[in-house]
Structure 1
Amino acid sequence: MSTPMRHGPSQQGRTPSQHPAAAPTPQASTPFSTTQAAAALSPHGPRSSPQQLKKSPATGTLSSGIISSQPGNPPLNFDSPSAAAALGGLGLDIQFDNISVGGLVGGANRSDEDDRKKRMDAVIQALWNFDTGRVSNDGLERLATRLGLECLWESAGTSVENDKVLVIAGRTMAVEVAIKNHVVYHASLTFNEPSPSLDKHVEKASAILFNDLALGPDESQLTKKLSKFRVNLEHLASLDRLSITPGLNCHEAVAGVWESLEKLHRWDVERLREDPALSDKPDEYLRVRALCNRHGCPLMHTRGRIGLTLDYWKQYHNYPGTKVEGGNGKTWGVLIDCATADTMVYTPVRVSDKWIGPNVVKTDSIDDEVMTATGPILDWLEPPNTILPPTEEAKSEGGLETTSGLSAPKPIEVAFMATFNPPVVVTHGIAMEIYKISAFNAPLSGNTFDNLLFPVAEGANYDPSEPRVMTFTQTVPTFVDIGNGQKEPDLKAHRNTLLVDKPVYGQVVTQVPISHPKDLMPMLPMLRQYAFLSLLLANSFKPREGREAMPLVPESRPAKEGTSNMSALDQKYKDFINSPERLKVDIVLSAHPIPRLQLVFPFKQITAMINLEIQLDGKIHIVSDNIFSDSESEASPFKCKGKFLGRKQWAQKLEDCENIGHWIEFIKYKLE
């Protein structure tokens, strides 16, 4: 069901009119001296809009002093040593443009209301983005209060004086943290109402929360930060804030989507096992294959993050031993969450675990699947709308409030939101395809596809209408024959040059609203296509993690007599990188209408030229070349050592290694 364009509640929280009148609180001597003031400054809490900042009793001194500067409420004195110490202690680099407090809050230099609000929001955001603090009794309570959650301290039931339990409670859930002498030794998540779809994941979520707070082997009580715990608690608080009791539990809505996606994933694995070539493969191998080639793999509470993720691409996915969770390599996924609808056209959240039929696919009978040219048709279902129960409506008659009836059901102003993690750089046309599926009107960037992949350095001379050239030198591990059929490892240096002949507009796809998990399925092939392209280019033009890019010409620094500026190994690596024996590899990128790479490199007595297409689902197609052949009888200047490889097999090898440099070295070794 579509809802016309309308304004939902702000993502920063409810407006003051939606809250009951708050009880006055004592005025603070400084803007950072109380928990209430800190909570009011939070941009994510329920009291964080500029209007609320003015009207909240907890910030009466702050708001009247900063925004109105009325008589009786003197302006806040930022020139005082305590205020200066507070701001300086936070480590904030806030530029006030040669103004004092009056200039910040509405003096002669900044009289425009919108400008004052913008500057105030910048200060609030800077305060909120600042480090949340360390794990401690006060730090935990302060963080929970900032997120709009209730806190209650209880005795742990032991004889230890400082052994306590902090209960962080919302409408639908609670987090219990057992802490002794500011060291957390237990944490657990519970939900107020029993739910099978939620209860099966509670233990895993509790383990993540505990890992966020517990001291690791190399961590100290003085340095243990709340940063990781804050991200997960903020996620729980957001879903809790969007939930409406009774009627809508956003935690349960997300868990219900997992139930249906997991059913689809298990069906994908069973279908893969029917392939004779895969029948003897372990379950984990088939799960990874379904993740990258079918409908993805849904995971609840994975990689240290609480919530639902639909993984759709994984680095090294064709390597033996790769696992769905854990292991090396980068993973691409879609975080499925809930968010306020704002002004977008949306279908409200529905709480259900039946988004797909019991047989997963449509059938004419029990055994016959409904087939199309692309395969069986999935049996997606449309769960009923979640309806909030009517509430008692108080009407005023003659100055008296009387309950004379029930109000109409309140519309749900919450939608499912899919957030791409990491964001994917795509061309303008692909972005339009993705936004069309979700009916999302996203703002378009005026940036080019290549500049989004490889941002131009600040101050560099860059004309997006002109061809772009960039170079990078890297080492490529390979093997060399040493005789008697034996090989030994070796390193080769490649000087890669990227040429973007015809720049096209690009877009960073960050998030889209969805009304149904089926909306994600047509997006996955396109997302894999550009995730794999970005991986290929990054492996050729970005330094590997943990090693900085080496300069092409070594810097000459005077060293003390008898000493060296670098280790012998670093010097050997640097000399190797800058040696003249670098293989020159030219890579021409064409992004429209389909991503293509042209590889040009010297090969024996000729110049090899290979044109590749990166197709949907991250598949490689060799369009043309001058070194391969499709059969041993085909005329070709080169022959394969050992087992013959045709163009499809060569394309598969590139898909397997995910690295152009490794692939080129394998070509040099294999062809003779």
Structure 2
Amino acid sequence: MATPTPSTNTPQKHLAAFSSPAPRSVPPMMNYDSPAVLTMLNEGSVGMGISMSGMGMSQLGLSASAMGRADEDERRRRLENIIATLKTKPGRVGEEGITALCKKEGLDVDREVLPDGSVMLTLIIGSETICDIPIRNGEIQSVNLQIASDGDEDMSFGASGSKILRKSLRPLPGQSKINLTLDRFSHNLDKLLRMDKLSAPENGGVNCYKAIFGVYKSLRKLFEHEKKMALALVEANAPFASLKAEREVLCKKSGRPRINSGDCMGLSLEYWMDRRHIIPPKVAPQPSSAKGKQKVAPDAAAEDEEDAYDDPSTNTIYSLTIECESSPSSMFTPIRISDAWLSDSIYKPADTDMSTLLLAPPQPDWLVPEPTYLQPPPTSHDDDSADPSAMTLDATPGRLPNIRFTARFNPPLILPLSVAVSLQQSVGLDMHTQDIRPTTFVGLALRPGDVDPGMMGLAGASTDEVRSTTSVVVPGSDGGEQRERVRTHANALCVPRTEYARAVEALPFQHPRQLVEMLPVLRQYAFVTSLLRGTFDKVEKAQPATPLSPPLTPKTAHGGEGTGDGKAEDAPLHLDVALSYAHPTPRLSFTIPHPSATSPAPLRLSTSPSSSSPSPSPPTALLSALLSRSSTTITDTDTAPPLRAIIEVHPNAELLVSEQNIVAVEGGLAGSATGGDILDVDAHVDMQRAAEAGERVKRIARALDVCQDVGVWGEWVRREVAVVRGA
């Protein structure tokens, strides 16, 4: 039987896997958000202009085993691949595993048996770092990391790094010790090794730790100044005043720089925190009695205050990890060892013109430090001709180091393609054509394991709906815990317009000013990603022990719903979300069933390409629906239209309600869910009512900002409307 050839037996469904989304050239003014960029080269070829001719069996991924001809050689090859893969994996936590890992990484390890029978392993990580790990009866006792450049009390890299390394050698919650491997420890050890290799004499002897510490000092100085300004706007005696001011700077100003925070080794600039307004109950102030103080563990007392108030399960943090990497100095501005990135005055002098001050708030007074040059290598006075480094141009005096700063996104951030291109251009890089991929927000953020909708859709086509089922705890009519119940939500997300996105993992930079300036845009998409992932994540998450509940509303005669028996209702509540992801302002369009409607399913916006009429963009479609119902008066009938709102996400994740039919607004700016019953009284009363209505509209966006949960916010909106109807 003849072996089939790729030209006659290649399954048609596999053709998309061999397509390249990168055009060979892109005009400089081309719109990267347009699907035409990725479809312009499709004609006459497969996928993105890659021909199938000249591809052999190995290129197609067809092996002898895949064609049913596995023999002894094939099985031996498989076994060798498995063994090679296992050799690359770190071993288990213990003396033998740590020793083997260090041997594989080329590190020297000193082993010493202490008088008490325990073993001390000393890891010599280059010329800058030493790590001591005492082990007793196979258990890791502690970790002591020491760095030669760590001499500043304000930047205890060794002490905080020791905590992270110790944590990486402990099992995670719910993990058994027998399954504990050195994966996390190996990742942190690799970071220390890279820093040491870049600081080695053969690379010029530039101390990368000092360069990172200099950036940290300037960023910390800016953070402390902005925190004082934020504290001035908070009541001094308010609970957690310092913490709230700190989180305000983290999410709205220049970010919070930290050395070795959480599980991340190195300098991190934290720029966004989920649910920053929510403080977990476990961090409530401890009793001031002596008995209460005795219960505080020594490790907890020595822990950083910032770590103590950050619960990863509630307050997920987005950060930029600042590191160093190899890069030719002729192509990119190299690192500079200095802490003078910011002037002592912190901010530029304020403008005396109040109108200009309101439009352009004060900006940080950034400085440009002097370049850092390489030191000349040591030469031998006995025989200059025998010195090979005498002819090395990269080591001659006056040369710049071949090292640059880089910021790694933790976690990687999903951005529109146009925004990713703009960020790269802001740091002096150009987008390469091979980096362009037909990926979308849905494929990257919500369905990373599935085929991306951008791979299948045509130019201008709509993506498929993303559906999920969640459970939301709804309080009873009196707000009591005994009357709360669980309601099932059937959620649907639609992205009517194909907008390409990219997962950004790292960006090089020359000056910390570049990072601070891009934070407002990063926060926009960090908020959108976090909000939608919490509702439309593919993996169903277990219900938390203490789930968030909607803000309580005063009890009214018509405010209660259900029986309050703690059971989920039979019919799920349908919540629809339409996403417009394009820069500069992403928009979220929500459709929520009215509390007085008989059917819990709202009227969905038509987004199917096969509809009789073309589907408009989400804001246009929702605006048309609102205008058609602007004169509708909601009564106690069962024909109430669904509640709808468009929320725009502006820089720094500032939320603005652009269109809504939840609150009655004077002047016809929005539809009214409670009827146009504003009385015709004097102008003062009209202005007062208009101001109150405006505050209620802002309260809609404020509620979403506080809870950052689509289900919780939807229940709160329904409850607010029910209260107004019953008032």
After TM superposition, the score normalised by the length of structure 2 is 0.65
Deviation at 1:492, TM superposition (A): 2.2
The equivalent of 1:621 in structure 2 is 656
User: Does residue 533 of structure 2 align to residue 531 of structure 1?
Assistant: no
2:573 pairs with 1:583: yes
- The answer to whether the Cα contact below 8 Å between 1:631 and 1:646 also exists between their aligned partners in 2 is no
Paired residues of 1:596 and 1:613 also in contact (CA < 8 A)? yes
Distance, in Å, in 1 between the alignment partners of 2:160 and 2:205 is 26
How has the CA–CA distance of structure 1 residues 584 and 304 changed in structure 2, closer, same or farther, with 3 Å as cutoff? closer
Letter of the 1:622 counterpart: V
Partner of 2:477: 481
Residue 467 of structure 1, aligned match among 456, 462, 465: 462
Q: Deviations over 1:19-77 (max 9, x none)?
A: xxxxxxxxxxxxxxxxxxxxxxxxxxxxxxxxxxxxxxxxxxxxxxxxxxxxxxxxxxx
Letter in 2 for 1:259: K
Tell me what 1:48 maps to: none
| 3-state SS, counterpart of residue 121 of structure 2 | strand
Which of the numbers 269, 277, 287 marks the counterpart of 1:310? 269
CA distance in structure 2 between the partners assigned to 1:597 and 1:238 by the alignment: 42
Alignment partner of 1:145 out of 96, 103, 110: 103
2:146 is the alignment partner of 1:190: yes
Structure 2, gaps ≥5 residues long: 1-64, 284-304, 544-564, 597-639, 678-691
How far 1:264 moved relative to its partner?
0.9
Q: Structure 1 95/223 Cα, relative in aligned 2: closer, same or farther at 3 Å?
A: farther
- For 1:384, give the aligned amino acid: E
Among 515, 519, 533, which residue is 2:514 paired with? 519
- Aligned partner of 1:163 in structure 2 is 119
Decide whether the 8 Å contact of 2:591 with 2:644 is kept in 1. Answer: yes
Q: CA deviation at 1:498?
A: 1.6
Which of 524, 539, 547 is the matching residue for 2:542? 547
Distance 1:125-1:338 versus aligned 2 partners, 3 A rule: farther
Listed one character per residue, the Cα deviations across residues 599-643 of structure 1 (whole Å, up to 9, x for unaligned) are 223313122221221111112111112221357999944289xx9
| 1:212-231 map, 5 Å | 212-213=168-169, 222-231=178-187
Contact 2:329 2:400 in 1 (8 A): no
Q: Which runs of 5+ in 1 are unaligned?
A: 1-92, 106-118, 549-571
- List per-residue Cα deviations over 1:619-670 (Å, max 9, x = no partner): 2111112221357999944289xx9752112111111111222222111111
Alpha-carbon distance in 1 for matches of 2:445, 2:665: 34
Aligned-pair CA distance for 1:409: 4.4
Question: How many equivalent pairs are there?
Answer: 534
C-alpha separation in 1, matches of 2:234 and 2:667: 27
User: Which structure 2 residues correspond to residues 283-322 of structure 1 after superposition, within 5 A?
Assistant: 283-320=242-279
Larger displacement relative to structure 2 (295-304 or 593-602): 593-602
Indicate the structure whose relative CO is greater, using CA pairs within 8 Å and at least 6 residues apart.
Answer: 2
- Paired position in structure 1 for 2:57: none
Letter in 1 for 2:241: P
> 2:269 touches 2:320 (CA, 8 Å); kept in 1?
yes
In the alignment, which of 657, 666, 669 is matched to residue 716 of structure 2? 666
**Is the alpha carbon distance of 1:656 and 1:193 closer, same or farther for their aligned partners in structure 2, counting shifts above 3 Å?**
closer
Is contact 1:448–1:464 with CA below 8 Å preserved after alignment? no
1:272 to 219, 224, 230: 230
Q: CA deviation at 1:455?
A: 2.6
| Aligned residue number for residue 177 of structure 1 | 133
After TM superposition, the score normalised by the length of structure 1 is 0.70
Question: By how many angstroms is 1:488 displaced?
Answer: 2.8
Q: Which amino acid aligns with 2:644?
A: M
Distance 2:329 2:387 in 1: 34
Which residue does 1:355 correspond to in 2? 341
Counterpart in the other structure of 1:154: 112
Quick one: distance in 2 between partners of 1:333 and 1:97? 50
Q: How does 1:68-467 map to 2 (within 5 A)?
A: 126-127=85-86, 130-156=88-114, 158=115, 160=117, 163-193=119-149, 195-196=151-152, 200-213=156-169, 222-245=178-201, 247-275=205-233, 280=238, 282-320=241-279, 324-325=306-307, 326-327=310-311, 328-329=313-314, 330-341=316-327, 345-363=331-349, 373-392=359-378, 407-442=396-431, 443-455=435-447, 458=450, 462-463=456-457, 465=459, 466-467=461-462
Partner of 2:559: none
Matched residue of 1:585: which SS?
strand
Contact between 2:199 and 2:208, CA under 8 Å: does it hold in 1?
Answer: yes
Equivalent in the alignment of 1:500: 495
Report the Cα distance in structure 1 between the residues aligned to 2:449 and 2:120, rounded to whole angstroms. Answer: 52
Q: Does 1:595 align with 2:630?
A: no
Q: Separation in 1 of the partners of 2:219 and 2:509?
A: 14
Query: Residues 198 and 251 of structure 1 are in contact (CA less than 8 Å); yes or no, is this contact kept in structure 2?
Result: no
- For 2:174 and 2:712, locate their aligned partners in 1 and report how far apart those are by CA, in whole Å: 37
Identity over the aligned pairs, expressed in percent? 23
1:431-468, Cα deviation, whole Å (9 max, x unpaired): 12211221233422221233223337647994354322
Q: Which amino acid in the other structure matches residue 157 of structure 2?
A: H
SS of structure 1 residue aligned to 2:376: coil
Q: For residues 322-350 of structure 1, what are the alpha-carbon distances to aligned partners after superposition, in whole Å with 9 as ceiling and x for unaligned?
A: 88533132111111111111699321111
- 1:319 is displaced (CA, Å) by 1.8
Deviation by residue 1:377-409 (Cα, 9 ceiling, x = unmatched): 211111222222111457999996699899434
Instruction: Determine helix, strand or coil for the equivalent of 1:186.
Output: coil
**Matched position secondary structure for 2:442:** helix
Residue 497 of structure 1, CA deviation: 1.8
Q: Secondary structure at the match of 2:321?
A: strand
Q: Distance in 2 between matches of 1:97 and 1:383?
A: 65
User: In the alignment, is the contact (CA less than 8 A) between 1:614 and 1:620 conserved in 2?
Assistant: yes
Structure 1 residue 190: Cα displacement:
1.2
Please tell me whether the aligned partners of residues 589 and 597 of structure 1 are also in contact (alpha carbons under 8 angstroms). Answer: yes
Counting strand residues as a fraction of each chain, which structure ranks higher?
1
Structure 1 residues 171 and 444: CA distance shift in structure 2, 3 A: farther
Counterparts of 1:481 and 1:125, CA distance in 2: 62
- Which moves more between the two structures, 356-365 or 96-105? 96-105
CA RMSD of aligned residues (A): 4.3
